[in-house]
Amino acid sequence: IVKKSCYPRWNETFEFELQEGAMEALCLEAWDWDLVSRNDFLGKVVIDVQRLRVAQQEEGWFRLQPDQSKSRRHDEGNLGSLQLEVRLRDETVLPSSYYQPLVHLLCHEVKLGMQGPGQLIPLIKETTSTECRQDVAMNLLKLFLGQGLAKDFLDLLFQLELSRTSETNTLFRSNSLASKSMESFLKVTGMQYLHGVLVPIINKVFEEKKYVELDPSKVEVEDVGCSGLHRPQTEAEVLEQSAQTLRAHLGALLSALSRSVRACPAVVRATFRQLFGRVRERFPGAQHENVPFIAVTSFLCLRFFSPAIMSPKLFHLRERHADARTSRTPLLLAKAVQNVGNMDTPASRAKEAWMEPLQPTVRQGVAQLKDFIIKLVDIEEKDELDLQRTLSLQAPPVKEGPLFIHRTKGKGPLMSSSFKKLYFSLTTEALSFAKTPSSKKSALIKLANIWAAEKVEEKSFGSLHVMQVIYTDDAGRPQTAYLQCKDRNGASDPFIRVRYKGRTQETSIVKKSCYPRWNETFEFELQEGAMEALCVEAWDWDLVSRNDFLGKVVIDVQRLRVAQQEEGWFRLQPDQSKSRRHDDYPMESPPV
């Protein structure tokens, strides 16, 4: 939902599977969300699938049409238009055996590298169009990751690009196959690392909701608010406070990055080591001292960290895009990171002179970043093998979080109450369970021992998202386990319970959200001289077991009598009296 806008922008993509011979039309409806009543229908666009089969793509502005079946429709006047891009992609997937000769040919060429006579990778590089280069890069990367040759594949692309590049200013700056493949590689292998570095900074930006602006031509007085003296702030005060805020965020980000060398996946470090070495070989000499560093930052900063800061939702750092007041902060922070990644060159400084207040932090950040890169690429072959061996033993989690498990013991009815809540960790080797994230594993299912996994019908447990896993234990005996996802995509089903003097009121449940909004009001009658505190509890609703206590806020009524009003963010606190409490938060600090 885009709040309070006549010109909303979503930039979101949806995919639907189209069966052969399907005739149904694709319908896009625009609605106006209402808090207190039914949503208002604004209009619709109907896409003719048969016409799309011929054209393959339709793009442009589509006029909204009324719908006679809607009870709340606008039949008169211009309903507006939607700008859409609709594509039909026809895919034919053959059995894997049909692709094996091509896979063997590609792998053989990558293993030989530049020493071999192969021409297939250069041919793909030269003939891939701009429109499909991202898809080709991702598919090739997944193929070589599966074969254990991703690092060799990227090294070959680095060498091919370097052999055709004479200008250091354009190195890896175009959307070449090498650039797209490395970008895809970082998204596949480094997303957990990215989250570890950025989540605390991004969360702070969203929670503070500060108005930030460095460009004097864009400062808006109505968005400034009032200072402590109850007077409108001047433009100079706004610019100075904005610079202070951005310097603090940039400093925190660079410090977090500097401390993250050991957290970076071994395969990412080894790939950057190869890139650093290849660029240094191609451009030796003191005049090109910064070129190897810029080659690394062109991917790490410009194509990975900066886009994630600018669009946190696209990188799953936040559930929603930033609102109008907050959105400028990530954008300016991303620009500052780009300047640091460009090693603070005169060209980057001249582009936007109003970024000058951040220059002291940017210059300091360049030194920090170079020191970080030196440590990042300082990984020998032996260290890389040891790290990979350690990681294979530790098996870094692909996905982890809470879920419910039910193991069958003999014959008997399948009851939803028999599910037990555990913390799961899925790696490339096994699926394990423990009581809490930090406790010892209580069960482990090796992926190699799993025979089948399938979705169970809803009527079996009266619940969605239950999977049946059939596997063999260490003794070779067949076993069955039922898993129910509690929080899909890491989200919860939160609601608020407000207590005062024995009275309790509850909000509605917001399904599958980490950032719920209720906008509900409760009233309690306060007797003269009453001393009891007002308790606001946050709970996660569960279908098959007791609700999970998330935390509470206690409002001191005596202090409220003096202040008359308290407003802002209140940090959730644990409650020792709750039997199902969350003492170990999966973030640096408890939620608010």
| pLDDT tens sequence across 67-117 | 776 554 444 457 888 899 998 887 787 887 888 999 999 999 998 887 776
Largest CA distance in the chain: 91
Segment 369-411, tens digit of pLDDT: 999 999 999 877 656 555 554 444 444 566 777 777 776 655 5
Q: How far, in Å, are 37, 42, 158, 161 from residue 68 at the CA level?
A: 21, 12, 58, 58
Q: Three-state SS for 472?
A: strand
DSSP 75-95: -SS---EEEEEEE--------
CB-based contact 400:425 (threshold 8 Å): yes
CATH number of 96-186: 1.10.506.10
In 3D space, the residue among 122, 174, 131, 128 whose CA is nearest the CA of residue 153 turns out to be: 122
Domain ranges of the chain: 1-92, 96-186, 190-389, 396-486, 490-563
523: left (phi over 0), alpha (psi -120 to 50) or beta: beta
CATH number of 396-486: 2.30.29.30
On whether the pTM is more than 0.85, the answer is no
Q: Which helix (H) or strand (E) holds 369?
A: helix 359-376
User: DSSP secondary-structure letter at 298?
Assistant: H
User: Could you tell me how many residues make up the chain?
Assistant: 592
Q: For residue 438, give every residue at least 6 positions away whose Cβ sits within 8 Å of its Cβ, in sequence order, or none.
A: 584
> CA 448, CA 94: separation in Å to the nearest integer?
25
In 3D space, the residue among 302, 283, 282 whose CA is nearest the CA of residue 342 turns out to be: 302
Residue 316, token pair as written in the block: 């799953």
In 3D space, the residue among 171, 114, 179 whose CA is nearest the CA of residue 141 turns out to be: 179
In 3D space, the residue among 265, 269, 275 whose CA is nearest the CA of residue 154 turns out to be: 275
Q: How many CB atoms lie within 10 A of CB 392?
A: 12
Q: For residue 531, give every residue at least 6 positions away whose Cβ sits within 8 Å of its Cβ, in sequence order, or none.
A: 557, 558
Assess if CATH 1.10.10.10 describes domain 190-389: no
What's the half-sphere exposure (Cβ side, CA atoms, 13 Å) at 561?
Answer: 11
Residue 331 confidence (pLDDT): 92
**Residue 246: pLDDT over 60:** yes
In 3D space, the residue among 25, 72, 273 whose CA is nearest the CA of residue 158 turns out to be: 273
What's the half-sphere exposure (Cβ side, CA atoms, 13 Å) at 257?
Answer: 29
**Amino acid letter, 164:** R
Residue 16, token pair as written in the block: 């639907």
Q: For residue 442, give every residue at least 6 positions away whose Cβ sits within 8 Å of its Cβ, in sequence order, or none.
A: 422, 433, 434, 435
> CA 412, CA 168: separation in Å to the nearest integer?
70
CB neighbour burial string for 178-215, b if at least 16 within 10 angstroms, e if fewer: bbbbbbbbbbebbbebbeebbbbbbbbbbeeebbbbbe
pLDDT confidence tier of residue 220, bands split at 50, 70 and 90: confident
Positive/negative CA dihedral, 569, 572, 573, 575: positive
Residue 166, token pair as written in the block: 């004479």
Alpha helices in 302-351 (DSSP H): 306-310, 328-341, 346-351
Q: How far, in Å, are 150, 323, 377 from residue 383 at the CA level?
A: 18, 45, 11
Q: Three-state SS for 415?
A: coil
Q: Three-state SS for 284?
A: coil
Segment 41-66, tens digit of pLDDT: 888 999 888 888 888 888 889 998 88
Measured distance between the N- and C-terminal CA atoms of the chain, rounded to whole angstroms? 23
Q: For residue 333, give every residue at least 6 positions away whose Cβ sits within 8 Å of its Cβ, in sequence order, or none.
A: 205, 246, 249, 250, 253, 309
Q: How many CB atoms lie within 10 A of CB 360?
A: 11
CB neighbour burial string for 79-108, b if at least 16 within 10 angstroms, e if fewer: beebeeebebeeeeeeeeeeeeeeeeebbe
CB-based contact 553:563 (threshold 8 Å): no
Segment 440-483, tens digit of pLDDT: 667 788 888 888 888 777 666 666 678 888 888 888 888 888 88
What's the half-sphere exposure (Cβ side, CA atoms, 13 Å) at 96?
Answer: 2
Residue 73 confidence (pLDDT): 46
CATH T-level assignment (fold) for domain 490-563: Immunoglobulin-like (2.60.40)
**Amino acid letter, 286:** A
Q: Which helix (H) or strand (E) holds 239?
A: helix 235-258
Q: How many CB atoms lie within 10 A of CB 355?
A: 20
**Residue 529: pLDDT over 50:** yes
Q: How many CB atoms lie within 10 A of CB 267?
A: 19
> CA 190, CA 267: separation in Å to the nearest integer?
9
Residue listed under structure tokens 């350690």: 390
- Average pLDDT estimate for 522-540: 84
Cα 451-453-456 angle, rounded to 5 deg: 140
Residue 231 confidence (pLDDT): 61
**Residue 349: pLDDT over 80:** no
Determine what percent of the chain is predicted with pLDDT higher than 90: 23
- Average pLDDT estimate for 201-215: 89
> CA 402, CA 390: separation in Å to the nearest integer?
25
In 3D space, the residue among 411, 407, 464 whose CA is nearest the CA of residue 431 turns out to be: 407
CB-based contact 404:544 (threshold 8 Å): yes
CATH fold match for the domains 96-186 and 190-389: yes
> CA 301, CA 424: separation in Å to the nearest integer?
32
> CA 106, CA 196: separation in Å to the nearest integer?
34
Segment 247-299, tens digit of pLDDT: 999 999 999 999 999 889 888 999 999 999 999 999 988 888 999 999 999 99
- Helix count (H) and strand count (E) of the chain? 17, 15
**Residue 487: pLDDT over 60:** no
Residue 499, token pair as written in the block: 């207590």
